[in-house]
Amino acid sequence: MLGCRPSKNPIKIDKISEDEDLGKTVDKGRYQRIVGKLIYLSHTRPDIAFAVSVISQHSHDPKQKHLNEVYRILCYLKGSPGHGLWFKKSDKRNVELFTDADWAGNQDDRKSTSGYCTFVWGNLVTWRSKKQSVVARSSAEVEFRAIALGICEGIWLKQVLEELK
């Protein structure tokens, strides 16, 4: 992949649907090894976390289109060296929490994805993106679930910081 053209984003906006032609089955072991390395890398590169979570859902039976999405992430990584988590000294001593969700974003099962990120003293310390376990009836319900998930993380983080003084 050293000679590939860099990509501007790690994943296409249109998601992979199960009813389209996905191509031939590819080497499952190779696919899983690459995805495993990308999962490890996503711990310090939150910008690829969503794309990696999408491709990892197809590790049980990878097809050529799924492998092409993996290659797209690798092309994105080539075009974005130096991106990642940077920690800086800050004068503000507060904790911030942000949440968001998409309503019925998965085309196959109509489930939503919610996520949050927390900043301590201006530095990103925790983040998560997860597909919700149930199909929501409204966008308000999806947002409420995302906020509840984020508040649980915020309470835990507050307790940790109190213990550390």
The 10s digit of each residue's pLDDT in 112-157 is 888 899 999 888 888 888 888 888 888 899 999 999 999 999 999 9
Last residue of a domain, one of 84, 109, 142: 84
Task: Tell me whether residue 90 is in a domain.
Answer: no
Q: Sign of the CA dihedral 83, 88, 91, 92?
A: positive
Last residue of a domain, one of 84, 110, 142: 84
Based on the fold, state whether residues 64 and 105 are members of the same structural domain: no
Last residue of a domain, one of 25, 50, 84: 84
Q: What is the pLDDT of residue 68?
A: 92
In this structure, what are the phi and psi dihedrals at residue 160, rounded to the nearest 5 degrees?
-65, -45
Based on the fold, state whether residues 104 and 78 are members of the same structural domain: no
Q: What is the pLDDT of residue 155?
A: 94
Based on the fold, state whether residues 1 and 68 are members of the same structural domain: yes
The 10s digit of each residue's pLDDT in 22-37 is 889 999 999 999 999 9
> Is the overall model pTM greater than 0.85, yes or no?
no
Based on the fold, state whether residues 115 and 68 are members of the same structural domain: no
Sorted by sequence, the CB contacts under 8 Å of residue 98 that are 6+ apart come out as 116, 117, 118, 119, 150
Based on the fold, state whether residues 129 and 68 are members of the same structural domain: no
Based on the fold, state whether residues 47 and 124 are members of the same structural domain: no
Q: Decide if 22 contacts 66 (C-beta within 8 A).
A: yes
Q: Decide if 131 contacts 57 (C-beta within 8 A).
A: no
What kind and span of H or E run contains 141?
A: helix 139-164
8: domain range? 1-84
Residue with structure tokens 């249109």?
14
The 10s digit of each residue's pLDDT in 65-113 is 999 999 999 999 999 988 887 778 888 888 999 999 988 877 778 888 8
Show the DSSP H helices in 63-138 as ranges: 64-79
Q: Decide if 117 contacts 100 (C-beta within 8 A).
A: no
